[in-house]
Amino acid sequence: MIMTFSILIVDDSKPMRSVIKKTFRAAGYGSSDFLEAGNGLEALERLQESWVDIVISDYTMPEMNGLALLQAMKQDDLFRAIPVVVITTEGSKQRIDQFMASGAAGYIKKPFTPEQVRDMITTILGESNEDVDTDDDDFDF
């Protein structure tokens, strides 16, 4: 049985938000509810409007980057329990350590595959999607 989740995708690139949604669908989360935000400030507004199960956030964004969003969420009693996964091209150990020290539930380095997304979500939310058939040939980001 595949569970559906409410997922907030935070990225200043609308095409990248679309790619992330497609990747979630390919990973078996197609019936989930997707909310979108173009930066950390918009993400905080969306969180005020709707509860989400997980936040997927880019790091590099205008106005409020992914690290500042993560830190703001961890300081808020209501939002601190929501897991945040940072998706980034930034792969330095120092940056990854900074994400994790700030409370990130995980990170995914661009380019990524549906399997990587599924494995990360499974690890964080505990959902088993062993029966999901993914076709990684269509998704190589």
Report pTM: 0.84
Strand arrangement of the beta sheet that strand 106-109 belongs to: 33-37, 6-10, 54-58, 84-88, 106-109
Domains of the chain: 6-130 (3.40.50.2300)
Residues 42-75 have pLDDT tens digits of 999 999 999 999 999 999 999 999 999 999 999 9
Average pLDDT over the chain, rounded to whole? 85
- Taking the CA atoms of residue 42, residue 8, residue 52 and residue 113 in that order, the dihedral angle to the nearest 10 degrees is -160
What CA–CA distances, in Å, run from 68 to 77, 118, 119, 136?
16, 25, 25, 32
